[in-house]
Amino acid sequence: MTATHEHGTPEIELRVEALESLLTEKGLVSPAAVDAVINYFEQDVGPLNGAKAVARAWLDPDYKARLIEDASSAFNELGITVRDNVIAVENTAEEHNVVVCTLCSCYPWSVLGLPPTWYKAPAYRSRVVREPRKVLAEMGLELPKSTAIRVWDSSAEIRYMVVPEQPQGTESMTENELEALVTRDSMIGVAQAAQPNAK
């Protein structure tokens, strides 16, 4: 199977850089403002879409089944349009999923926003395949030996998101409350969903 990993041509990236430089030079935007916008997409807009679907899936097993079966349609049900071909994979006590793009940085932008810097780092991309348990432990996620780890390699055609396990003790929480527990990292698979009291 051939996988492509196109994120825009170098010319487009150069044009973006040129525009940012020009706007900064003319005093129209500050680099800090640009960073703030990027941070907004990285932290809020993107992961929020994924988090909405995960929270719904926790509350509604039928929805979860549809999300695993056909993520795009399941997102559409929530009024979210998915531009990537996203496949959702579910964490269980027996199997933990983690996502990488070994070739570059393919990532489900429309549901998770911008990828974190470490996602694009060669160290993460190469090591998480070879020694996922060790890499996850280093990132603060210690998994029991009895939990198998499955690594999903994203490409431009197929981009994965993880449906983390619902934290214990959150059964009576509302959908909005649950959403807040679904972090970006938990949907990449390098963390569990947040504990309610950890907020």
Nearest residue (CB) to Fe ion, 5 versus 133: 5
Q: Binding Fe ion by CB under 5 A: which of 87, 88, 99, 106?
A: 106
Catalytic residue among 30, 72, 73, 104: 104
Position 188 contacts Fe ion (CB under 5 A): no
Task: Establish whether 105 is a catalytic residue.
Answer: yes
Please identify which of the residues 21, 30, 73, 106 carries the catalytic annotation: 106
Q: Which of 193, 167, 58, 188 is nearest to 111 (CA)?
A: 188
Q: By CB under 5 A, is residue 5 in contact with Fe ion?
A: yes
Are the C-beta atoms of 187 and 90 separated by less than 8 Å?
no
Dihedral of alpha carbons 153, 86, 120, 6, sign: positive
The least CB distance from residue 176 to Fe ion, in Å, is 33
Candidate segments 101-109, 139-147, 165-173, 175-183, binder of Fe ion by CB under 5 A: 101-109
Q: CA-to-CA distance for 188 and 181, rounded, in angstroms?
A: 14
Alpha carbon distance 105, 149 (integer Å): 20
| Residues at the contact surface with Fe ion, assessed by CB under 5 A | 5, 101, 103-104, 106
